[in-house]
Amino acid sequence: MEETKHIRISDYNYPLPDERIAKFPLPVRDQSKLLVYRKGEISESKFISLPEYLEAGTLMVFNNTKVIQARLHFRKETGALIEIFCLEPIQPNDYALNFQQTRHAAWLCMIGNLKKWKEGALHKEMTVKGRTLTLKATRGECRGTSHWVDFTWDNEEVTFADILEVFGELPIPPYLNRETQESDKETYQTVYSKIKGSVAAPTAGLHFTERVLEALRNKGVELEEVTLHVGAGTFKPVKSEEIQGHDMHTEYISVNRSTIDKLIAHGGKATAVGTTSVRTLESLYHIGVTLRQHPEATQEELHVNQWQPYETELKLTPVEALTEIARYMDRNGLDALHTSTQIIIAPGYEYQIVQQMITNFHQPQSTLLLLVSAFTKGNWKPIYQYALEHDFRFLSYGDSSLLIP
């Protein structure tokens, strides 16, 4: 573990000219390029051809989270514009319950132009579902770089989800350097998104179309879903020289009991669509290890800490770890496991469940690049060099890769 902690993030840098960052997606999602890395060999294809590279019987796992319109803009009487960026629910702290709230909801938020909002509540009049209401935002305690914000409104027939849908703005990635456009509401969601809660899309999934999904089913690939709500921390740069100084953000995961059975039936092996699915699946292994040692743990106590995978001496097979989760869920009558993870996957990490990965091309000096490096046994540079030399488009709206180590 010490070796992993002392990884220098500067070793994971590469030149990324602004013109290589895709500012908008292609008109047809599945016409994007696909880089195929298979056991050290690199080739190029189109995403629509993905099913040709996968074997029948493969279990492919998707993150079905849906991006919420999490940016709210208020204008003070002085004219100052204040942006409130909803990061995660506090009261109630369950996403689904919070979205169903009427009259009041509290969130942990980042605040833009904070110096102009010293005191008092912010107000915004709006019409939602044909009903006029006033939304009030009151700032509470500071928590690190974020603040507790209470939202109240004077119409009990309107939910917080309704307000975000009408008043909120979709938070596209900061590195696109442009305003959110109406088209982003559709293009920055996967075609299979269902569960509201993310402030960033699981972007490897943006390439999938109904015809690609159908072709995968016809090939005999099994499709399964998990939920990880992507936080703004996914864009948090690594500012420390060594990664031991970087605090990973917490992300909330939900996995159905039937999904655990499906994973066990496939020998604890899966193909992950995107790094969020990777983090969810690999966290499941470490949750299973925790349960072997602490079978009576609460769901909150199953949280995977940043360095936990590197500190655990107990070794289980993936099936053994998943079986521990299945038994735990049965003992507690759980249809779904709800917990959280701070897992950091970097060189030195041993992958347990993920055998193949579909992922986009990530920012230099990012934790996502560390994850890819760990998966390819340090072989990320030739992959990125090939992508740069062959006109691949980078980051959220860019092209993708299929990694088979």
Residue 144 pLDDT exceeds 90: no
Q: Give the torsion through C-alpha atoms of 387, 391, 395, 397, to 10 deg.
A: -140
What pLDDT sits at residue 328? 98
- Indicate the pTM of the whole model: 0.94
State how far the Cα of 191 lies from the Cα of 125, in Å rounded to an integer: 33
Q: Give the torsion through C-alpha atoms of 318, 319, 325, 329, to 10 deg.
A: 150
What pLDDT sits at residue 232? 75
> Residue 3, class by beta-carbon neighbours within 10 Å (0-12 exposed, 13-18 middle, 19+ buried)?
exposed
Mean pLDDT of the chain: 95
pLDDT one-digit tens code per residue, 252-298 = 999 999 999 999 999 999 999 999 999 999 999 999 999 999 999 99
How sure is the predictor about 190, in pLDDT bands with cuts at 50, 70 and 90? very high
The residue with tokens 């015809």 is: 211
- Percent of the chain at pLDDT exceeding 90: 89
Does residue 61 contact residue 225 with C-beta atoms inside 8 Å?
yes
Residue 351 pLDDT exceeds 80: yes
Indicate if the alpha-carbon torsion angle 391, 394, 398, 403 is positive or negative.
Answer: positive
Residue 101 pLDDT exceeds 90: yes
Q: Which two tokens stand for residue 191?
A: 């075609």
pLDDT one-digit tens code per residue, 209-260 = 999 999 999 999 999 999 999 987 777 788 899 999 999 988 999 999 999 9
Does residue 236 contact residue 251 with C-beta atoms inside 8 Å?
no
pLDDT one-digit tens code per residue, 37-87 = 999 999 999 999 999 999 999 999 999 999 999 999 999 988 899 999 999
- Percent of the chain at pLDDT exceeding 70: 100
What pLDDT sits at residue 118? 84
What pLDDT sits at residue 329? 98
301 Cβ neighbours under 8 A, 6+ residues apart: 290, 294
The residue with tokens 């599945």 is: 30
Does residue 337 contact residue 254 with C-beta atoms inside 8 Å?
yes
